[in-house]
Structure 1
């Protein structure tokens, strides 16, 4: 099935109307997050690369027209004006890995109006989901305070593709590895894994299971020690590791219970057995809140394995994102709905040391200490350069995070910086608002009275 049908139906109905009315002039849409979720002091831009892959191959084919006609219960001939439609426009976007704030455009697309409308759903899906996961993962790295974090999320993410994205995005913000073999191979990540409780249960006793595992994997190994009784499991693991001289680089994994106190107990047993180099890995429902508490308590845990709660961003599983028309045929437009007012015109974000960012117009000069974030990544429907390496996104994240105020980095009750509008953007918004009030909202206004005037699409 073509990606062109991965679309909300109303995008199709609007595109049909635009084509019928001859409204194919360039339109600029801005994709942004209105407000950050609770307990978020920042977001990490993500999803751009897969969005560009989609856009560069976007084309409405014969099968898509058939599907659109069937969905609308209309003759195929009614939908044929969409046949062959492909993206020919420009994309400016914040590179993956960069810290972003509420109200800042992650992406702006300029293309003939029907084209720009049809790709809305896919772009929102990609950037919203991946930005949410990347931001959650980044908070885990902050909470771990230098301890390695690894991804165990694949088995409970919302589909295998989402699991792949979680592994990639975790690596982008500093995870040390992933259990996802496909993602590790495709993205050049470190694959990590231990054993399941079923492996231990399949044998007659824990020691038999540990020795069998070591025979197949000569080292280093990680033994799961809490299938039955955790203290007994740690002692058994210590005995096997010492007997087989597998201490260096090996580990035990704690997966349930009071992980802090169990880690203290386990560390004592391992050290007493002469195994100070054996690491302790903790897993089992962890996210940044649990990791932060374990680190704060001084628990002797070396590596944190995070899974379900991070792979689905359990406490903030969605973003209040939007894709809004900001200019059509050279005319700036804006939405005035209560609590959902948008800013008109194509934009630029200017990053200043220590924040706050300035959101200005696309072509205005940056402030003296500001650097533009939005870069042209697609022109004439094709990428402007090679797909960036994951290391490049990781470098952007590291640099932006270092400049982020400490209050925004807090795991609980963070204070997010607020971007400010430039004087030029503020002035444009005032002019557009005034024009709408005079021409559209005023009783008997020009547009209300002149039904023969040009039709003006506004944002949803």
Structure 2
């Protein structure tokens, strides 16, 4: 399993350290606090996010320390010596509660909670947001592509277009979101996932003759030979030469695995290729397609009847086109054992105070029908209320209830066995089967219902009125 450096204390923003020093010097650093992680808007015009990156975050937080060389560096940029002495002995000793990796989550749900002293819960903010926002974004994009592609094979090869080292975790998150293999050998090795690859145009161009390039490749890789057929002329030379090599492989007891189309009209070319291969008795040869694909293009190709068996996705997945980031935030909800709230004239930006739980409600058809957020001590409630639309509520009395939040770290030590990306993908797939279809469509998906309990609603409204000096919900 991939391992970060032995310490990750500097994986943070400067202002986290200045606030930490302020807490320490004002003798407030031992006050107990709770922070929530949530996002406000689903990316890609969708309704949901696939939660990913939890195992990475837990590993990083376990390693959150400041060795002597980093303490020396912090001294050079002006931090207080007494505070640095404190940091030299620092390790995270708090608790973390979270939904499961691979879970389907929805806007404004506090899906991860960090509890501990105010200084330790503050210091881990940046790394937590960095990892969860990025891996969840990529896993969500991957799950959309998986929905479009159905059971067809999906290959991720976005490393060359990814944002630097982010490509390592982009490949991991792609598998978590439902992809089958990656071209990224580094990630395949460290995350125990399967790598795969074909050839580039440069291989073919390096020979004087396309046929010779194909034959040479087939000689060295007879078991998994996929030939790139569009270097010169797909229909007049690429596919005919691939057919000839396929017959030569058959004579030696092997079978051509596939051909790859990387340019042109993929619907037209794949149909022509399928016809030519079938006429040659090569019905088992797969057609692989690549070239700036995403979920919408794949959906269109399949709607046109393109007989493509395998899709290779690079740039749009590794860079999460067209959304560059997930807007996940980390907000204080409890401080010194008192509920805390961020108030705003914009009701959608007002946070939910206190320590909370999330439950998923499941109808008689075993489908998800709503999520409810309540204060953690609440044991039962049969109504959920819209957080910002006054008077809007839903009865969940007839539904089964499933708790989503569980402890994953106890006093700085991880309490669960980390999931592999493949295990996360399996879980996500099972959860998507329970999500009604209207929430999964790409164009104008139906909004999934997320409500809050009556007690949480009253607590939130009371605090908001206290700080704003007016009732924002009746103004």
TM-score (norm 2): 0.88
What is the CA distance between 1:129 and its match in structure 2? Answer: 0.4
Q: 1:94 to 1:120 in 2, by over 3 A?
A: same
- Partner Cα separation in structure 1 for residue 420 and residue 380 of structure 2: 28
* Residue matched to 2:144: 139
Gaps of 5+ in 2: 363-367, 382-398
Q: How does 1:233-312 map to 2 (within 5 A)?
A: 233-245=238-250, 248=255, 250-312=257-319
Partner of 1:206: 210
2:190 is equivalent to residue 176 of structure 1: no
What is the aligned partner in structure 1 of residue 68 from structure 2?
Answer: 62
CA distance in 2, matches of 1:385, 1:129: 22
Is the contact between residue 143 and residue 411 of structure 1 (CA under 8 Å) also seen in structure 2? no
Q: 1:225 is matched with which residue?
A: 229
Mean Cα deviation higher: 422-431 or 326-335: 422-431
The 1-side partners of 2:422 and 2:82 are apart by: 49
Paired with 1:264 and 1:336, the residues of 2 have a C-alpha distance of: 58
Asked if 1 retains the 8 angstrom alpha-carbon contact of 2:229 and 2:261, the reply is yes
Partner of residue 160, structure 2: 155
Note the C-alpha offset of 1:75: 5.5
Q: Which residue of 2 aligns with 1:449?
A: none
Q: Which residue of 2 aligns with 1:445?
A: none
Alignment-derived partner of residue 26 in structure 1 = 32
| Among 35, 40, 61, the residue aligned to 2:46 | 40
Q: Indicate the residue corresponding to 1:360 in structure 2.
A: 374
1:369 maps to which of 400, 413, 434: 400
CA distance in 2, matches of 1:221, 1:5: 46
C-alpha offsets along residues 37-78 of structure 1, whole Å, 9 cap, x if unaligned? 34122100011111000111212333333333333x356456
Counterpart contact for 1:6–1:121, Cα < 8 Å: yes
Instruction: Give the drift of 1:261.
Output: 0.8
Aligned to 2:21: 16
Question: Which of residues 191, 207, 212 in structure 2 aligns to 1:187?
Answer: 191
Comparing 217-226 and 75-84, the one that deviates more: 75-84
Residue correspondences, number: 438
CA distance in 2, matches of 1:55, 1:44: 21
Distance 2:99 2:260 in 1: 39
Alignment of 1:90-109 (within 5 A): 90-109=95-114
Report the Cα distance in structure 2 between the residues aligned to 1:295 and 1:281, rounded to whole angstroms.
13
CA displacement at 1:166 relative to structure 2: 2.3
Structure 1 stretches lacking a partner, 5+ long: 442-460
Bigger drift between 246-255 and 215-224 goes to 246-255
Whether 1:346 aligns to 2:350 is: no
Q: Name the SS for the 2:111 alignment partner.
A: strand
CA shift for structure 1 position 105:
1.7
Task: Provide, for residues 205-258 of structure 1, a one-character-per-residue CA deviation record: whole Å limited to 9, x for no partner.
Answer: 110000000111122310000011111201111111112217746100001111
Q: Aligned-pair distance for 1:10?
A: 1.1
Matches of 1:235 and 1:338 in 2, distance apart?
Answer: 67
**1:446 corresponding residue in structure 2:** none
RMSD: 2.0
* Post-superposition offset of 1:407: 1.9
Quote the residue 2:432 is aligned against. Answer: 401
Distance (Å, rounded) in 1 between the aligned partners of 2:127 and 2:155: 29
Change (3 A) 1:74 1:388: closer
Give the match for residue 418 of structure 2: 387
Q: Deviations over 1:389-448 (max 9, x none)?
A: 444422321221112121221123323313111112111102222332459x9xxxxxxx
Higher mean displacement: 331-340 or 202-211: 331-340
- Per mean C-alpha deviation after superposition, the further-off stretch among 234-243 and 163-172 is 163-172
1:432 partnered with 2:439: no
* Distance across 2 between alignment mates of 1:252 and 1:214: 12
Provide the rounded CA distance (Å) in 2 between the counterparts of 1:35 and 1:87: 30
2:118 paired with 1:113: yes
d(CA) in 2 for partners of 1:159, 1:370? 42
Aligned with 1:87: secondary structure? coil
Range 382-391 or range 317-326, more displaced: 382-391
Asked whether the 8 Å contact 1:285–1:307 carries over to 2, the reply is yes
Moved more, 379-388 or 319-328: 379-388
Other-structure match for 2:454: 423
Aligned equivalents of 2:277 and 2:378: distance in 1? 62
Distance 1:309 1:433, change over 3 A: same
Structure 1: 4+ residue segments shifted above 6 A = none
Q: Is the 8 A contact 1:65 1:76 kept in 2?
A: no
> Residues 47 and 68 (structure 1 numbering): CA distance in 2 closer, same or farther, change over 3 Å?
same
- Aligned partners of 1:424, 1:57: CA distance in 2, in Å? 38
1:6 aligned to which of 11, 14, 18: 11
**Residues 1:126 and 2:131 aligned together:** yes
Tell me how far apart the structure 1 counterparts of residues 353 and 273 of structure 2 sit (CA, whole Å). 59
